[in-house]
């Protein structure tokens, strides 16, 4: 494995010089530029850490006059750190950002540079959703690394065949499979929810569109004769509530660290696994060639009283890097070099080789890993609704996330969760102003 990664690194490094063309000469003419960066990366994951190191090493090899002091964060600790930096007016020069409201307080503060002057002329090189306006004036604050489907129901077809099961058509069908799966000491649906965002982003968001449809969803966001206290949102929450009560999730789901569900699925201790499309990156390196043939990408089956689209997921224009508004001249140009490298043709080629589905329009290599090919097909063919924390204020997740967790532990009803969240949204969310 290490030899393979090293070989890939050498090949990609050579490709990087070709892709980058003459850009390095312009950088070399100026003095050394030093920048700071807050990166979103799970360095505890050996595959992700190895892939990231190749990206970083390639950048520094092709940009010798740029020095970046990188600080890392992941999951909620990242958001806590970014928020603390923002409050203390100590944001780094370059930082990882979300296109919607997840980091909306930062992107809407005036402290993030509009990237359109640098991006001009390259817009058509990206998927249209990736270069959609992120600010009210059409600003683009971060250059998306990929288009992200946040809900995928990964399925082990081999285990299903051994158990005599077929993929469920409805929520009731899935529940009916639970006893048979557990009888074999297997987990029906592997998920983790210790840090709480997973249940909202990777399941509830998709279920919300399923329950109410996009017209209702659009009206809920702005409060146009619709609210999160409506029966539709209660219905979406009820699906999760029932899954928890019927012991369909990983045991101790609300105490499990992110990554443990992936391990359960890779080691074939779970039939289904719900997470984001980004997990294809991990599966490229962690599944065997044989497993890759029988692991499929699905979405949650139809739910009771469904008004939305069958087979839909929840999607956002991807996350990516942006720069502080204080940067000017050589510093701003150097920050852009990283942003363009990471999400443009060079970084996209590297990341695609490790399982990413870049927002940059890339030809599909003939030798692309099968898990990446499956993801590309899934993204292209699967209808999508919104991810809640991308369209609603991030502060409201401090109400919704723990309330979902309490519901799963039997301390609140779906109706109570819906009413509590709607009360916060009605009083505070900027979408309702």
Cβ(123)–Cβ(66) below 8 Å:
no
Measured CA to CA, the distance from residue 40 to residue 35 in angstroms comes to: 16
Measured CA to CA, the distance from residue 80 to residue 71 in angstroms comes to: 14
pLDDT, position 399: 98
pLDDT, position 148: 82
- Report whether pLDDT(166) > 60: yes
- 345-353 vs 329-343: helix axis angle to the nearest 10? 40
- Paired tokens of 296: 């499929």
Task: Give tens-digit pLDDT for 3-16.
Answer: 334 334 434 444 44
Q: Is residue 34 part of a domain?
A: yes
Q: Is residue 20 part of a domain?
A: yes
> Please, which pLDDT band fits residue 365 given cuts at 50, 70 and 90?
low
Residue 32's domain spans which residues? 2-144+319-358
Whether residue 268 is found in the same domain as residue 254: yes
pLDDT, position 380: 81
Bridge partners of 190, per DSSP, are 273
Task: Give tens-digit pLDDT for 205-226.
Answer: 999 999 999 999 999 999 999 9
pLDDT, position 4: 39
Whether residue 233 is found in the same domain as residue 253: yes
Among residues of the chain, what percentage have pLDDT more than 70? Answer: 92
Whether residue 180 is found in the same domain as residue 32: no
Average pLDDT, the chain: 90
CATH number at residue 400: 3.40.190.10
Q: Is residue 164 part of a domain?
A: yes
pLDDT, position 354: 78
> Please, which pLDDT band fits residue 138 given cuts at 50, 70 and 90?
confident
Q: Is residue 370 part of a domain?
A: no
Among 39-48, 170-179, 192-201, name the one with the lowest average pLDDT: 39-48
Among 95-109, 151-165, 235-249, name the one with the lowest average pLDDT: 95-109
Measured CA to CA, the distance from residue 44 to residue 218 in angstroms comes to: 38
Number of domains in the chain: 2
pLDDT mean over 327-334: 97
pLDDT mean over 165-176: 98
- Report whether pLDDT(263) > 90: yes
pTM for the structure as a whole: 0.77
């Amino acid at each position: 494995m290490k030899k393979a990664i090293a070989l890939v690194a050498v090949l990609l490094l050579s490709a990087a010089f070709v892709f980058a063309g003459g850009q390095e000469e312009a950088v070399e003419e100026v003095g050394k530029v030093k920048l700071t960066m807050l990166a979103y990366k799970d360095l505890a994951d050996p595959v992700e850490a190895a892939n990231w190191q190749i990206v970083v090493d390639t950048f520094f090899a092709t940009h010798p006059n740029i020095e970046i002091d990188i600080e890392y964060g992941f999951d909620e600790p990242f958001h806590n750190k970014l928020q603390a930096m923002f409050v203390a007016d100590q944001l780094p020069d370059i930082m990882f950002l979300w296109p919607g409201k997840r980091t909306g307080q930062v992107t809407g503060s005036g402290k993030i540079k509009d990237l359109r002057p640098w991006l001009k002329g390259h817009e058509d090189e990206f998927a249209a959703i990736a270069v959609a306006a992120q600010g009210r004036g059409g600003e683009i604050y971060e250059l998306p690394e990929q288009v992200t489907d946040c809900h995928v129901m990964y399925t082990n077809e081999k285990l299903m065949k051994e158990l005599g099961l077929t993929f469920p058509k409805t929520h009731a069908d899935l529940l009916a499979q639970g006893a048979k799966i557990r009888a074999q000491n297997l987990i029906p649906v592997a998920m983790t929810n210790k840090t709480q965002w997973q249940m909202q982003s990777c399941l509830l968001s998709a279920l919300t569109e399923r329950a109410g449809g996009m017209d209702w969803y659009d009206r809920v966001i702005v409060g146009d004769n619709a609210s999160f206290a409506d029966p539709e949102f209660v219905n979406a929450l009820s699906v999760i509530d029932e899954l928890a009560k019927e012991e369909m999730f990983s045991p101790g789901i609300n105490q499990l660290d992110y990554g443990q569900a992936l391990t359960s699925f890779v080691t074939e201790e779970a039939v289904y696994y719900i997470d984001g499309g980004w997990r294809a990156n991990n599966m490229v390196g962690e599944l065997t060639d044989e497993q890759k043939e029988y692991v499929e990408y699905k979405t949650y089956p139809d739910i009771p009283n469904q008004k939305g689209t069958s087979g839909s997921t929840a999607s956002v224009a991807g996350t990516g890097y942006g720069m502080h508004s204080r940067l000017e001249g050589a510093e701003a140009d150097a920050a852009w070099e990283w942003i363009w490298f990471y999400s443009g043709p060079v970084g996209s080629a590297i990341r695609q080789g490790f399982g990413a589905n870049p927002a940059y329009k890339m030809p599909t290599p003939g030798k692309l890993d099968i898990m990446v090919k499956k993801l590309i097909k899934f993204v292209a063919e699967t209808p999508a609704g919104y991810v809640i924390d991308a369209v609603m204020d991030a502060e409201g997740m401090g109400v919704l996330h723990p309330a979902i967790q309490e519901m799963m532990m039997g301390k609140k009803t779906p109706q109570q969760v819906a009413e509590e969240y709607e009360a916060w949204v009605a009083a505070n969310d900027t979408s309702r102003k």
